[in-house]
Structure 1
Amino acid sequence: MIRSMTAFATQQGHADSATWTWDVRSVNGRGLDIKVRVPDGIDGLEAKVRAAVTKSATRGNVTIGLRLAREQADGALQIDPARLDLILEALDAIQDRAFDKGVTLGQPTAADVLAHRGVLVAAQTDVNVDLAEPIWADFETALSAMIDMREVEGRSLLSVITAQVDQIETLTAQAVDATKSRSDGVKTQMAKALGRIMEDATGADPDRVAQELALIAVKSDITEEIDRLGAHVKAARDLLATGGPCGRKLDFLTQEFNREANTLCSKAQDVAVTQIGLALKAVIDQLREQVQNVE
């Protein structure tokens, strides 16, 4: 079963005085790109998250975020050391600057310092190390839900891609029939062309002229393109049947499909075959768009 690269999942949890929400999202990507945003306080969490995602997915831009909220400790207040240091450093710089200018400033009081925003904050309960286990369990639940969604989306993609591959096979068969129908016309046109050339080309070597016409006929032959299109259809079906991470291979096949369709159009020399070639290019482009979503 193929999987889509587009999915998302969320999981909420709580324990003791803390609540948290995991947010796991995945979108299309050429490789596997993992972005993790988790708060400090749980050692090794980010590394474990990255390892779990790497084990579960092979492609996609995956973004994981954890929002952790802790209850306040009964209205108690505490000082934010980092913010306090910034304020004190700023006050020192102001005092030094004023001294250089010959200006004497009064010393700020503790109340003045505490009045600055962010120095005095509501106290929070410490992160309990016992939270690591339930938080990790909820992440595994969220990751599993995201992978399940990728598989559900993959089933929808499989149906669409299979129908498009079937359409390519049908158009290829139509090209074969159209080629058979044009063969007699091409022979007649070449015979008339040879007759006109021989009438107007005094002293021309009939064998050489026939050889040149034969080369033109070979260049307009689309048998190889038809055969390769059939081989690509079989390869695509084999990949879809095997399942697993096959997006890169399918993407390569769409390039090969498109190459053969372009060559078929350039060699067509027939309205019906040209129309089939253009229809092939349209379906192949639609297939390419869908394949971009496959892991």
Structure 2
Amino acid sequence: MTGYARAQGADDRRRWAWEARSVNGRNLDIRCRVPQGFDRLENPARNAVGAKLRRGNVSLTLTITSERQAKPLRINRALLAELCTLVEEIRRDTGAATPAADGLLRVRGVIEEEDDGEETEAALAGLDKALSATLEEVLKALAGARAAEGQALARVIAGHIDEIEGLCRRAAERAVAQTGTLRARFEGQLAELLERAPPLSEERFAQEVALLVGKADVREELDRLDAHIAQARELLADARPDNPVGRKFDFLCQEFNREANTLCSKSADIELTRVGIDLKGAIERMREQVQNVE
């Protein structure tokens, strides 16, 4: 399910903001990006998302901006000297050109900000607590956004269920007419055979018709489809943030499709086949939406 949320906070040294985005997905896939030096927050953030959500591709980003003026820069001369020594060795061994000074200065760690004092462990613990509180706020807002989308999605899925129910009623009507179609077809085939073979007895004729009708009987499939419709409505009614039903609904769609396939394979009536194809299309449209359900 899709959703977006943003929450921010600040202290006397910095400002920060958590952003959370989610898009549809069969499973829960979490991508977390935090600034350098805050890697310790990544696993707790992933765990916090997993505690609230079950499905979706979730992107979580933390940005931190210093409130203080830019710090003076200094050159890490020890690192620069070591780099120059390595460059000279490589130049002698390979004959490569000596790199320009700006290339050496771009190496990470050569230019540093002057340290104005490390924060105490207590200050860092307080910062982590504040960041976690903002994270909780943004995840709560994201869950709310997804819930709002879920309500709209429930109405769409309910419409698909109604469509499937209507097609099942049409299929039941055509299934009754199918018996007459089978009898007429068998009589036509029998008329051709009678020109070459002795006539069948009335009893044998009835047995053959009954056999064909039995093979084309779709009442069992229609009964199961009715049961699946009832179960789909129950799942939709029971869907809550603390009771995810997406996977159950996904499996139920597979059962819907299995019965529709069997109905089409048994059909001996062109109209019933058309209804069966429409039914498969409606089930597929519902399945696509069910992929978005928590």
Q: Indicate the TM-score class for this superposition, using the shorter chain for normalisation.
A: 0.7 to 0.9
Decide whether the 8 Å contact of 2:3 with 2:21 is kept in 1. yes
CA distance in 2, matches of 1:277, 1:100: 76
Partner of 2:160: 164
Task: Find the counterpart in structure 2 of residue 108 from structure 1.
Answer: none
CA–CA distance in structure 2, aligned partners of residues 224 and 52 of structure 1: 46
1:109 aligns with none
**CA deviation vs aligned residue, 1:13-46 (integer Å, no higher than 9, x gap):** 2211211121112222232222222234457422
The letter of the residue matching 1:116 is L
Decide whether the 8 Å contact of 1:72 with 1:122 is kept in 2.
no
Question: How far apart in 1 are the matches of 2:82 and 2:212?
Answer: 85
Equivalent positions of 1:233-248 (< 5 A) are: 233-243=229-239, 244-248=243-247
Residues of 2 paired with 1:11 and 1:245: CA distance?
25
Distance 1:254 1:271 in 2: 25
Q: Which residue of 61, 67, 88 maps to 1:95?
A: 88
Residue 56 of structure 1, CA deviation: 0.6
Judge conservation of contact 1:79–1:120 (CA < 8 Å) in 2. yes
* 1:1-295 alignment runs, 5 A limit: 5-42=1-38, 44-73=40-69, 75-79=71-75, 85=79, 87-97=80-90, 116-117=105-106, 119-123=110-114, 128-129=123-124, 130-202=126-198, 211-243=207-239, 244-295=243-294
Cα pair distance change 1:7/1:78, threshold 3 Å: same
CA contact (8 A) 2:14 2:68 kept: no
Does 1 or 2 have the higher relative contact order (CA < 8 Å, sep 6+)? 1
Residue 26 of structure 2 contacts residue 292 of structure 2 at CA under 8 Å; is this kept in 1? no
Over the residues paired in the alignment, what is the CA RMSD in angstroms? 3.1
Matched-pair contact (CA < 8 Å) for 1:71–1:124: no
For residues 202 and 67 of structure 1, do their structure 2 counterparts lie closer, same or farther at Cα, with a shift above 3 Å needed? same
Note the C-alpha offset of 1:266: 2.5
Q: SS in structure 1 opposite 2:35?
A: coil
Amino acid of the structure 2 residue aligned with 1:218: G
Q: Report SS of the residue matched to 2:146.
A: helix
What stretches of structure 2 of length at least 5 have no aligned partner? none
Structure 1: gaps of 5 or more residues: 106-111
Shift in CA distance, 158/61, structure 1 to aligned 2, threshold 3 Å: same
CA–CA distance in 1 between the matches of 2:94 and 2:264? 83
Q: Deviations over 1:262-289 (max 9, x none)?
A: 2222222223212211221221111011
Q: Which is further off, 59-68 or 197-206?
A: 197-206
CA 49–185 in structure 1, closer or farther in 2 if over 3 Å, else same: same
- Report the Cα offset of residue 252 of structure 1: 1.5
Runs of 4+ in 1 over 6 A off after TM superposition: 112-115, 203-209
Instruction: Tell me the SS of whatever aligns to 1:10.
Output: strand
Q: Which amino acid aligns with 1:155?
A: Q
Following superposition, the deviation at residue 124 of structure 1 comes to 6.6
The answer to whether the Cα contact below 8 Å between 1:29 and 1:59 also exists between their aligned partners in 2 is: yes
Preserved contact between residue 260 and residue 280 of structure 2 (Cα < 8 Å): yes
Partners of 2:182 and 2:268 within 8 A in 1: no
Instruction: Give 2:265's aligned amino acid.
Output: S
SS of equivalent to 1:187: helix
Percent of counterpart pairs with the same letter?
A: 40
1:256 maps to amino acid: E
CA distance in 2, matches of 1:58, 1:65: 19
Please, which moves more after superposition, 11-20 or 186-195? 186-195
